[in-house]
Amino acid sequence: MLFHEIYGCYYESVARIIDQAIKGTLNEKIMHSIIQETAFSESFLTIEPALKNHQWPLLCDDMHTPVKHPSTMPLTLIEKRWLKAILLDPRIQLFDVSIKGLDDIMPLYQMDDIVYFDQYHDHDDYFDPAYIKNFKTIRKALHDQSSVSVYFVTGKGKRANIHGMPLQLEYSQKDDKFRLIIAYHHKKYTINISRILEVEIKEAFHYPKDVRTEEKKYFVMELVDERNALERVMLHFAHFEKEAKRLDENHYQVKVFYDGEDESELLIRVLSFGPFVKVIEPNHFINQIKRRLLSQKALSIK
């Protein structure tokens, strides 16, 4: 069932009124406001009289209620199916999330139903037992605030080892990879989880205040809010630090801060917005955009 009346605006409106009555803060002004916000413009002609004359025996004359607990809404079947599909994602399973209670629910979709056209294909193998073991060991070290010894293969194919303090795990949607951010000799390093051979948990640590980080890079772009460009930009750059300001009714300026290793991913994302976005600084980023556009033009000519 995709719809049930308990998810309609009348039920939502009455539920909010009851919640206020339970708190002891309900009055006629608040009741009118709730009805106006959650129901139809003419709904006060039905809801308010039905509550006041006890046709719906949910309110007392003093605006209190015999209901003891705030209202909660059960999940719909389609919500359960969506939740089951999300929880079956192998990336979610890395965090040991239980699907208890959804055993008999059919997922809304399978992971194979989704085709990513803007992602690299050399993604992490989330089913690899060694990958899963290393990932969970890092999670435990982060939770217990323990240092780790990480054995990994560098980008040049050489074996290396770092004994440091895990600071966080991050995920790149473009690369479809998880990375470990680790402090080593008072500097931060990034290691792809897929390059890690083994992780050993060592002693507990205290996070040092003098860990140096590379200065954040940034770029500034102006955009025209057509075809939901502003909403799409906010979504695409959601996990990056940014500053936004409105220039006029349809034009905005957004400043995005990023780590140097994410630059290629960001260039691709900016180009995906076409004529609705214009990068205005810095020159380094603008030149990168120009080079990519010229390369694309040369390919199209051939």
| Banded model confidence at residue 57, pLDDT cuts 50, 70, 90 | very high
- State how many domains the chain has: 4
pLDDT in tens, 150-209: 999 988 889 999 999 999 998 987 788 999 999 888 788 889 999 999 999 988 766 555
At 122, phi and psi to the nearest 5?
-90, 50
Tokens of 85: 């599909």
In a domain, 55, yes or no: yes
Q: For residues 197-215, b (16+ Cβ closer than 10 Å) or e, as one string?
A: eebeeeeebeeeeeeeeee
Task: Enumerate residues 6+ apart whose C-beta is below 8 A from 38.
Answer: 9, 12, 13, 16
Q: Does 80 lie in the same domain as 33?
A: no
Tell me, yes or no, whether 21 lies in a domain.
Answer: yes
Q: Find the domain containing 68 and state its range.
A: 1-72
Instruction: Tell me: do 258 and 289 sit in the same domain.
Output: yes
**Residue pLDDT, tens place only, 104-157:** 999 999 988 888 776 777 889 999 999 999 999 999 999 999 999 999 998 888
Q: Kindly state whether residue 83 falls inside one of the protein's structural domains.
A: yes
Nearest to 196 by CA among 219, 169, 220: 169
- Domain assignment present for residue 65? The answer is yes
The answer, yes or no, to whether residue 214 has pLDDT greater than 70, is no
Q: How far apart are CA 127 and CA 137, in angstroms?
A: 16
What CATH number did the domain enclosing 284 receive?
A: 3.30.70.120
Could you give the residue ranges of the DSSP H alpha helices within the chain?
9-23, 28-38, 44-52, 77-87, 90-93, 129-144, 229-236, 263-271, 283-301
CA distances from 72 to 27, 38, 68, 268, 275 (A): 22, 16, 12, 43, 46
Say if 286 falls within a structural domain.
yes
